[in-house]
Every structure is written in C-alpha cells, then in structure tokens.
Structure 1
Amino acid sequence: MMKIAKEFTFDMAHMLDGHDGKCHNLHGHTYTLQVEVTGDLIATGSKAGMVLDYGDIKRVVKEHVTAKLDHAFAYFDGNENECRIAKLLEEMNRKTVALPCRTTAEGMAIVIYDWLTPYLPVSAIRLGETPTSFCEYVGDMHD
C-alpha cells in the first residue's frame, strides 16, 4: 500500500455559538486541507506507478469540498442562532453551507471525509484552521 496526499486552501466564515471563548463570534479562517488517499500502485496504462493522478484528486476535492466551502458561511444546522444568521445571509444572496455538526475543525474534517469517500479512497483528512492548529481524522472513527 502507498499513501499520497494533496493540499488545498479555502477561506470560510463560521462561529461556534455557545463557545466560552472568542470563537463564539462570527469570524473566518484560511483553512488548509490535506486529503490523503491510500491504495496499490496502478500496474499498467498511462497512470502506471501511481496510486491516483493528483489531477483527479484535485478535480474531486474542488467539486465536492472547496466549491461548497470557499468564501461561504458554514453553520451547524442544529443551532438556532447560527440558522438565523444563515437565513439572513441567504436572503441577501450570500453563500452559506449547512453542516450536520458544529463547525469545529474536528467536525468539519469528518464531514469532508464523508463527502469525499464515495469518490476517493480517502485514508485521512488533515484540516488546519490556523497556521499552527490542525486536526487529523482517520477514516471510520465515527462509525
């Protein structure tokens, strides 16, 4: 087995309603996302010697992750206050994305993993919220 990874960046706003720190307020981050995939090397054809073509990873991540999250307000669809803010933004034709969890780096890493696994053999997601803070989700930890 071989592991490869590709890194992406996107900008996103969020808030953690009810948090006891400054992240309680609406704010944004430039996130770094590393998508790690695992597999055997392709034996024949134009992609021989690769696990996957990095361009294929880029296309899938752009379609299923960064196009949704980049320059959006991400919010927990189970939080009344965050939903109220999202509704106002949507009325103003602003980009929002509802998530089934709090928009912590940890929660978002699980969501991103779930979005990508139907299309890629993802083995880990690393999501950096700041230049010095990141989390890593290794698949199937939440099942």
Structure 2
Amino acid sequence: MSKIRITKEFNFETGHALFGYDGKCRNVHGHSYKLAVTVIGEPISEPDNVKLGMVIDFGDLKKIVKEEIVGPFDHATVFNRNTPHLELAKELQIRGHKVILANYQPTSENMVIHFAEKIKNRLPKNIELYSLKLRETETAFAEWHSQDN
C-alpha cells in the first residue's frame, strides 16, 4: 500500500525573550504561532477497523499535539533557563502567569526541534513524524524534516 502524508495545523500564543541577543527580540514579546504537523504512514486497511482508510485519526493527532505543545505553550512565556530574566520569570509565576524555563534559547529553530521530539515520542509505532513547520510571523518560520535528521 502507498504511504500517505497528512497534516494538521494548530495555533497558539506564546511570549519569549532571547537572552544575549543583540536586537529587539532580547525584550519580552509574543507571537501568534502557527504549527503544521505532518505525519506519514500507510492508511489502515483492516476492513473491521473503525478507522479504515486513515493514516491516523486527525482527532488522535490533535490530542497528542494539544497535550504536548499547545496546552503547555499557549499563553505561556518561555525563557532560556540560563537567562538573567529568572527573577522576572519567578515574579510572573508568583502572579499566576504560565512560565516555561527551557533548556535552550527559545528561538523558533530550537522550539521546533523540541516539539519534534515531544511529538515523535507519542506517535503510534506505524506512524512517523514527517515534518513540522513553526510559523512565528506571516513571513518567518522554521521547519524540521525527518529526512534531515
């Protein structure tokens, strides 16, 4: 049977600051991120399977991405764990804000690598993560492709 790619898109709002950066993005700011998740696999061919003809149920893929990415990152502020913004991060947490202290500089490039690992770990064995496209703005995005990794 043929391998088929399917894609589901997600939206979330996240703030971040780039520690040590020499431009405006060193300041805390936010983006309306758009994440396209593409997986590849063979459509289910067992006639008695309720998901006959599907590579993966879009609802199942949605559940994985919502739990691993959208839920934690939506309306959160992401800081590099080594940032001098730790005092600010702690103050935000005390005031009830959602803060993520990442083990990486929270650029789109590093975020998409992190997202790929989280999603790959949750996919069924017969489904592979093919690619991710994380759009930070309408004109700027980072992509992760399995063939490159």
TM class by smaller structure: over 0.9
TM-score, normalised via structure 2 length = 0.89
CA positional deviation for 1:83 = 2.4
Is 1:134 the counterpart of 2:136? The answer is: no
1:5 match: secondary structure = strand
| CA shift in 2, pair 1:58/1:130, >3 Å | same
- Measured on the aligned residues, the alpha-carbon RMSD in Å equals 1.4
Unaligned 5+ runs, structure 2:
none
> What's 2:26 paired with?
24
- Paired residues of 2:19 and 2:80 also in contact (CA < 8 A): no
> What's 1:48 paired with?
52
Is 1:88 the counterpart of 2:91? The answer is: yes
CA positional deviation for 1:141 = 5.1
C-alpha distance in 2, partners of 1:41/1:93? 44
CA positional deviation for 1:140 = 7.7
Rg comparison, structure with higher value: 2
> What's 2:108 paired with?
105
CA positional deviation for 1:85 = 2.0
Unaligned 5+ runs, structure 1:
none
C-alpha distance in 2, partners of 1:102/1:59? 27
**Identical-pair percentage:** 36
